[in-house]
């Protein structure tokens, strides 16, 4: 602000002197520049005062705060912390260093206006919000928690700022409706401003502090460390995905969620959960859209999203069956229960064999909450053990804890813990499932799986089976039994007892029609091996899948039923268009590996190897098949 001033008038700098005896050595002056220089000097003096008298306390407090953090930038945070400590930590007689400085140094400031400004600095504030407007001499920060714009005076030494970035700052009053920075703005990229705001709002809701000023003052450094982590750290294009198909799912999911208006934190959570799933589970992915739909449904059941989707709505959106969505959702849920628990800070076993988190979700169904916050408060109270537990643990509970430990353990300890659990609860199926892993022969393993099944039946009771048939996998207490039965059936199959294996497979699908365990894949092979082609056809029609593997199985059934028909050739052409790599492996032109590939993508060679390894012996049953395929 350039002003022409009379030489005999009071100097506008606030010194109380006439202009000609103060700043009148030049014809024009800048009040803004005078105050800027003076305030810079005072702010530097305040920090020097703090470091001179309380450096040990400041360093000790910083070391204590940062003990749990591993950060790369070791210069920025100590610098910020020193200013924060000076402003908000009471050191003597319930006074902060800033208040002590003002009390002892205010009378040394001669300029009236500067003195008035510094006196108002007794109670600074912290702001966190988006920079919404930037001008030559001021900017505006829309404070997230206060939901109000704060006008901040800018001085030339501060540098340039950009609209749309998210900012943290300590603010000192500058007049009635403006602030100055102490010492500067610390900003982060603005592409995730909504996600940053969501994080800060959630942290405030979770805190016991009621006043916004107190919360921000107490949590400045914590929020500055926490908030940038909500950025999409797991960028889809930067991740080494197990297969092209798994990457396709992540990319489609990310794009669809952005279009639906979901925040970055929600999208990131979904991508991370999907990455956990595909890197831990060697799963065939024929149609990515099925998993996209299942993942969207999965995420919507564990966090409040913009859209609430039913399985039927998602199936219609992506042109797939409801049973496909339900089945894949079951796979995700079963595998990712530990990750769900970690999101809520619950300690559970890493394996998905048993998870108490499912019980908590089941319990939530019986409650009606007025808000998401009320539901979360209830969940945290359950997880943190705020509800009083009465009585001692039963033998069954102790046995379950030992099973948890056994699942996490390796080597001999794994099986020792399983035996200890069975000593306390001889009816725990998972104990026998674990012991079967170390059996010396398949026959010995079969007996242990059978014992686990029998114990499951006894523990659940005969009436339970009739009352809950068709809904088994959705009931957590059934899963130890179903795991034992799956392994029992597969072992029968491997031993060549096809009749009993098929009976077990069919029984499991009857109990769990959605087939979350993927029994149908083994049952189809078993049907064809015993030449029950009608059973195989019924099974494929029941679980209709749009995949190259299903396409080749349709060819196989057509040829086995009716010979080398024209329809068979059309079906083969369709199958080849989905994966041209399969036939060379089926006919032996390419050598198959000894083991299944760790992963595969839609239409790639690993998918072809997987299919041929599992099904080549079935194709070899048909006389003339090799020659027909080679035409």
Residue 261 or 138, more confident: 138
pLDDT of 340 above 80: no
- Measured CA to CA in angstroms, residue 522 lies from 281, 498, 518, 559, 598 at distances of 17, 11, 8, 20, 19
In SS3 terms, 537-572 reads as: HHHHHHCCCCCHHHHHHHHHHHHHHHCCCHHHHHHH
Task: Report long-range pairs for 531-539 (Cβ below 8 Å, ≥24 apart).
Answer: 532/502, 533/557, 533/560, 533/561, 537/561
The rounded mean pLDDT for the chain is 80
Determine the pLDDT at residue 38. Answer: 85
Report d(CA 211, CA 3) in Å as an integer: 42
pLDDT of 194 above 60: yes
CB 314 within 8 A of CB 293: yes
Residue 505's H or E segment, with its range, is helix 498-511
CB 555 within 8 A of CB 571: yes
Q: List pLDDT tens digits, range 586-598.
A: 999 999 988 888 6
Report d(CA 630, CA 478) in Å as an integer: 48
Residue 361's contacts (CB-CB under 8 Å, 6 or more residues apart) are: none
Report d(CA 536, CA 559) in Å as an integer: 13
357's tokens: 């988190």
Of 337-351, 512-526, 547-561, 586-600, the poorest mean pLDDT is in 337-351
Residue 282 or 595, more confident: 595
pLDDT band at 387 (very low <50, low <70, confident <90, very high): very low
Terminal Cα-to-Cα distance of the chain (whole angstroms) = 89
- Measured CA to CA in angstroms, residue 44 lies from 90, 138, 347 at distances of 20, 21, 47
Q: State the burial class of residue 462 (Cβ atoms within 10 Å of its Cβ: 0-12, 13-18, 19+).
A: exposed
Determine the pLDDT at residue 394. Answer: 84
Q: List pLDDT tens digits, range 552-577.
A: 999 999 999 999 988 989 899 999 99
Determine the pLDDT at residue 208. Answer: 66
Q: List pLDDT tens digits, range 70-98.
A: 555 556 778 888 999 999 999 988 899 99
C-alpha atoms less than 13 angstroms from C-alpha of 613 in its C-beta half-sphere: 13
| Percentage of the chain lying above the pLDDT 90 cut | 36
537's tokens: 């056809």
pLDDT of 284 above 80: no
576's tokens: 């080849």
Residue 173's H or E segment, with its range, is strand 166-173
pLDDT band at 351 (very low <50, low <70, confident <90, very high): very low
Residue 118 or 67, more confident: 118
- Bridge-based pairing state of the strands 186-188 and 166-173: antiparallel
pLDDT of 308 above 70: no
Q: Select the highest-mean-pLDDT range: 151-160, 196-205, 450-459.
A: 450-459
The pair phi, psi for residue 204, each rounded to 5°, is: -65, -40
CB 472 within 8 A of CB 478: yes
Residue 25 or 492, more confident: 492
Q: What is the pTM of this model?
A: 0.45
pLDDT of 391 above 70: no
150's tokens: 């704060």
Over its C-alpha atoms, the chain yields an Rg (Å, rounded) of 34
pLDDT of 265 above 70: no
Would you tell me how many other CB atoms lie within 10 Å of the CB of residue 92? 11
pLDDT of 342 above 60: no
Report d(CA 400, CA 559) in Å as an integer: 51
What value does the mean pLDDT take over residues 100-118? 90
What value does the mean pLDDT take over residues 386-401? 68
pLDDT of 29 above 50: no
What value does the mean pLDDT take over residues 194-198? 81
* Neighbouring-strand partners of residue 10: 18
Number of H helices, E strands in the chain: 27, 10
What value does the mean pLDDT take over residues 303-311? 63
Report d(CA 237, CA 113) in Å as an integer: 56
What value does the mean pLDDT take over residues 507-517? 89
């Amino acid at each position: 602000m350039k002003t022409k001033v009379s030489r005999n008038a009071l100097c506008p700098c606030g010194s109380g002197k006439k202009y000609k005896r103060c700043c009148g050595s030049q014809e024009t002056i800048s009040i803004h520049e005078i105050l800027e220089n003076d305030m810079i000097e005072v702010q530097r003096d305040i920090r020097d005062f703090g470091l001179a008298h309380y450096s040990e306390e400041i360093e000790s407090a910083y070391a204590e705060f940062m003990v749990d953090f591993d950060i790369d930038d070791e210069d920025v945070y100590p610098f910020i912390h020193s200013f924060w400590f000076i402003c908000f930590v009471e050191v003597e007689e319930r006074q902060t260093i800033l208040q002590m400085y003002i009390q002892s140094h205010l009378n040394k400031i001669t300029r009236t206006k500067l003195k008035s400004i510094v006196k108002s600095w007794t109670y600074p504030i912290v702001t966190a919000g988006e920079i919404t407007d930037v001008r030559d001499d001021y900017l505006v920060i829309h404070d997230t928690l206060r939901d109000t714009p704060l006008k901040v005076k800018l001085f030339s030494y501060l540098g340039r700022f950009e609209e749309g970035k998210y900012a943290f700052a300590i603010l000192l009053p500058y007049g009635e409706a403006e602030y100055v920075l102490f010492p500067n703005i610390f900003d982060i990229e603005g592409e995730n401003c909504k996600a940053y705001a969501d994080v800060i709002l959630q942290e405030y809701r979770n805190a016991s502090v009621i006043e916004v000023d107190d919360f921000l003052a107490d949590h400045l450094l914590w929020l500055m460390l926490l908030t940038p982590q909500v950025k999409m750290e797991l960028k889809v294009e930067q991740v080494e995905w197990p297969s092209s198909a798994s990457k396709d799912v992540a990319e489609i999911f990310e794009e669809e969620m952005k279009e639906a208006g979901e925040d970055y934190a929600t999208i990131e959570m979904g991508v991370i959960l999907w990455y956990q799933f595909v890197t831990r589970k060697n799963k065939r992915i024929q149609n990515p859209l099925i998993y996209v739909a299942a993942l969207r449904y999965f995420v919507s059941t564990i966090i409040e999203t913009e859209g609430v989707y039913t399985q039927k709505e998602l199936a219609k959106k992506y042109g797939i069956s409801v049973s496909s969505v339900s089945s894949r959702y079951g796979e995700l849920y079963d595998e990712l229960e530990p990750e769900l628990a970690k999101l809520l800070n619950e300690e559970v076993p890493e394996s998905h064999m048993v998870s108490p988190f499912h019980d908590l979700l089941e319990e939530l169904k019986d409650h009606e909450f007025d808000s998401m916050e009320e539901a979360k408060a209830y969940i945290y109270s359950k997880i943190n053990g705020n509800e009083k537990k009465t009585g001692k643990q039963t033998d069954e509970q102790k046995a379950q804890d030992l099973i948890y430990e056994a699942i996490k353990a390796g080597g001999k300890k794994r099986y020792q813990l399983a035996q200890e659990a069975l000593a306390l609860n001889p009816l725990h199926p998972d104990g026998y499932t674990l012991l079967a892993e170390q059996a010396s022969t398949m026959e010995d393993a079969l007996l242990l799986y059978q014992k686990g099944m029998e114990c499951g039946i006894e523990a659940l009771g005969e009436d339970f089976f009739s009352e809950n048939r068709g809904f088994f996998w959705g009931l957590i207490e059934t899963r130890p039994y179903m795991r034992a039965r799956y392994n029992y059936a597969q072992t029968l199959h491997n031993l060549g007892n096809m009749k009993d294996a098929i009976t077990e497979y069919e029984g499991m699908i009857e109990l769990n029609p959605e087939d979350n365990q993927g029994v149908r894949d083994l049952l189809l092979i078993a049907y064809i091996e015993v030449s029950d082609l009608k059973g195989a056809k019924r099974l494929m029609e029941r679980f209709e899948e749009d995949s190259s593997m299903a396409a080749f199985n349709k060819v196989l059934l057509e040829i086995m039923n009716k010979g080398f028909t024209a329809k068979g050739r059309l079906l083969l052409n369709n199958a080849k268009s989905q994966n041209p790599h399969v036939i060379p492996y089926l006919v032996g032109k390419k050598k198959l590996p000894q083991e299944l590939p760790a992963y595969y993508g839609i239409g790639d060679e690993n998918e072809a190897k997987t299919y041929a390894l599992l099904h080549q012996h079935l194709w070899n049953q048909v006389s003339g098949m090799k020659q027909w395929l080679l035409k």
